Structure 1
Amino acid sequence: MDSTDKTVPARKYTNVFTWYGYSEQVIQTRAAEIWDAIFTGPYKIYTEVPPDMAYIEDVGNADVRTEGMSYGMMLAVQYDRHDVFDKLWRWVMKYMYMPTGRHAHYFAWSVSPEGVKNADGPAPDGEEYFAMALFFASRRWDEGEGLYAYADHARDILRHCVHNGDTLPGLPMWERGNYLIKFIPEADFTDPSYHLPHFYTLFAEYADTQDRGFWQQAAAASRAYLVQAINPETGLNPEYSTYTGEPYLASPDHHFFFSDAYRTSLNVALDAEWWGSTPVLQDRLEKLQQFFSPDGPGNLGTVYAVDGEAQNQTVRHPAAVLATVAAASLAVPASDTSLYFVDMFWHRALETGSGRYYSNLLYAFSFLALSGRYRMF
């Protein structure tokens, strides 16, 4: 990645690894190794297919998800791999885009590797990542035409996310009354890890002029919501929650700190890096690291309720838990605890088993964040 990139605004990004003695050379080597592990190595999750397309596979579930495709596009922007970005985007538009039906202009959240849709509905985390990756692509590589008019496609995605059910047919992805993202368009609950105020702050600059006030409100609402959703004593958050932050009990097993929930600390830390920390959320990240520290009650391999009560379950994605807890070090004061997790993460290999799709993508984003390589364009 080129240190002279036209990042916005002009700034120097925090490289936590250098705080703790890692050289820029070894950090750059590790960054390249992570790309190779995901995209080219023997345990890769990236596959190229004719004609000049590619997909990211959830190898544990044998499907292709908007989550993974949008993550892959974001990684391609951050690593300056225009070729990979376009191959993924072509696959998305050919096989995931829904031009008609009740979810027209959204993307089917699960599709087979052969391109057969497994679902006729979207998952909003995919749409918001697609939009941000496309805006960044437009600014990093400039606009093309048609499929490669990246910013036009990003604005179209966000237009439908906000206005479906209003000025456009369908259902919106944000709850209009509170500016919070839904779990799915039909839902009346949310997922804390879907809340990306650092993206919404940029949407307020890049989206349709008429919607920029909406995105400013959405950023503020999500930051306030996250204060409620993350437990003030443990730093844990549920996988799904009500709009007021309580664990969503109507969906069995999704009210624990599990799976989706791991992403939240990474998102909060990146928001703090890009736009400045919220003191209460910084405290939540410190509590999370204290909970899992050697002196704390938590174990990275165990599933917990948000109040810290251990469940009789083990985590499915151990590298993801460690990576995202370590990512919190980007937004907390340097300490023995933050050093412990950064060092532990540095020495943790990527996963090679059936759960490597989710774990290794979060590993990659956490590494980019901690090394100052997760940038705005």
Structure 2
Amino acid sequence: MGAYKTGNYRNLLKEIGKSDAEIKARIEEAVQTFFYDENERIYHDAGEDMGYLTDTGNNDARTEGMSYGMMMCVQLDMKKEFDRIWKWSKTYMFMDEGENEGYFAWSCQTDGTKNAYGPAPDGEEFYAMALFFASHRWGDGEGIFDYSKQARDILSACLHKGENGRQGAPMWNRDNGQILFVPGSPWTDPSYHLPHFYELFALWANEEDREFFKRAAKVSREYLVKACHGKTGLNPEYANFDGTPMDKELPWGIFCDFFSDAYRTAANIGLDAVWFGEDEGQLSVPLKMMNFFGTDLEAVRCAYKIDGTPLEKPVLHPLGLLATMAQGALAAADEDFETAKKWVEWFWNQPLRKGQRRYYDNCLYMFALLALSGNYRIY
């Protein structure tokens, strides 16, 4: 039974022997570095009342990072920074006309100029969830700070674009209940499947959309069982609706292997285990991954096919992979705790990443730190 019903959030860091004071200090240190350190921060103020998170590897602001930042802020009770990020998102990223009206441009320059006019559905998912939590934690304001209305409007666009003469395409396949890689695409991204979010959307979205999201939660849990390899637990970056790797060559390459996007799946499963504990078979996936990688941290230094075949391609985000594996430990059963504990200890002993590629790793690190300390909560 998950925390949605019990209100109890497991603190794995305490279970491996860390004190409350140590955990609090680690979180405070990470927040200071991530948001405020002049040399290493990801977050930046913009003017008097806006702010953005930058992808340090590409020098842009992405809906992925912006919505992640909002989720971190609402979990950490950082309303000022939350509102700044949200206002920047609505001012520069939101599209109020054309085919993608109602969505957010997935990439902008840090001055707000759009790099693209297409959306990335993982951004919309996190925006909506963070906004609902903000509504419940701080109360709704006016205009764009009427958080719950903004969240409902995002989800309505995600489901109903293309209906009744409305331009564009939805972000979910309304027939099979699966989220899409981009609106209208014939494939999905396993790491976009967030059944623990959909359970809450089924409670708080517009009434006409609630039944769909309840179904989507079950569909996504069942889908993750198919998309994650039965022995290794690894999942591909992109996949077909039946769970098989999507090996069509795209303009930016072939993404059928276990690589950067795919790391998030284990973390998502871990958080779903904490929040709801509903198991369609997906809760066993993180342990399979841990057993595949074994006890040698060097095993996370290269990419793999989902059957475990190593590739001559280095991992771009080793800390991100370690963080998501550690967060996946939240799905481990009691009898598997010794295996899971090793990953949590490895995570604890790793500092935030420095340098140009730190953005993605440190976002995943922050989420894992919150989740493993019992501070990634439903509001």
Shorter-chain TM-score range: over 0.9
Would the aligned equivalents of 2:4 and 2:276 in 1 still touch at CA under 8 Å?
no
Pairing 1:121-270 to 2, within 5 Å after superposition: 121-167=118-164, 168-251=166-249, 252-270=253-271
Q: Deviations over 1:291-349 (max 9, x none)?
A: 112279x8111100000000001100010000111111111034332111111100001
From 111, 116, 122, give the equivalent of 1:114: 111
Report how many aligned residue pairs link the two structures.
370
Q: Mark the runs of 5 or more structure 1 residues left unpaired by the alignment.
A: 1-6
SS at match of 1:62: coil
Q: Deviations over 1:162-194 (max 9, x none)?
A: 000113332100001101000000311000000
Distance 1:98 1:90 in 2: 13
Distance 1:20 1:230 in 2: 28
Paired residue for 1:3? none
Paired residue for 2:304? 304
SS at match of 2:304: strand
Q: Which amino acid aligns with 1:126?
A: G
Q: CA RMSD in A?
A: 1.4
Which range moved further: 185-194 or 270-279?
270-279
- Structure 1 residue 43 displacement after superposition: 0.4
SS at match of 1:101: coil
Paired residue for 1:357? 359
Structure 1 segments, 4+ long, off by >2 Å, are 7-10, 333-336
Asked if 1:70 corresponds to 2:67, the answer is yes
Distance 1:73 1:31 in 2: 17
TM-score, scaled relative to structure 2: 0.95
SS at match of 2:300: coil
From 8, 12, 15, give the equivalent of 1:16: 12
SS at match of 1:300: helix
Q: Which amino acid aligns with 1:355?
A: R
Paired residue for 1:323? 323
Q: Which amino acid aligns with 2:355?
A: G
- Structure 1 residue 9 displacement after superposition: 4.8
Would the aligned equivalents of 1:277 and 1:331 in 2 still touch at CA under 8 Å?
no
Identical residues among aligned pairs (%): 46
Q: Mark the runs of 5 or more structure 2 residues left unpaired by the alignment.
A: none
SS at match of 1:54: strand
From 13, 26, 30, give the equivalent of 1:30: 26
TM-score, scaled relative to structure 1: 0.96
Distance 2:181 2:269 in 1: 18
Would the aligned equivalents of 1:9 and 1:376 in 2 still touch at CA under 8 Å?
no
- Structure 1 residue 232 displacement after superposition: 1.0
- Structure 1 residue 23 displacement after superposition: 0.7
Asked if 1:40 corresponds to 2:36, the answer is yes
Distance 1:264 1:271 in 2: 11
- Structure 1 residue 35 displacement after superposition: 1.0
Distance 2:353 2:296 in 1: 26
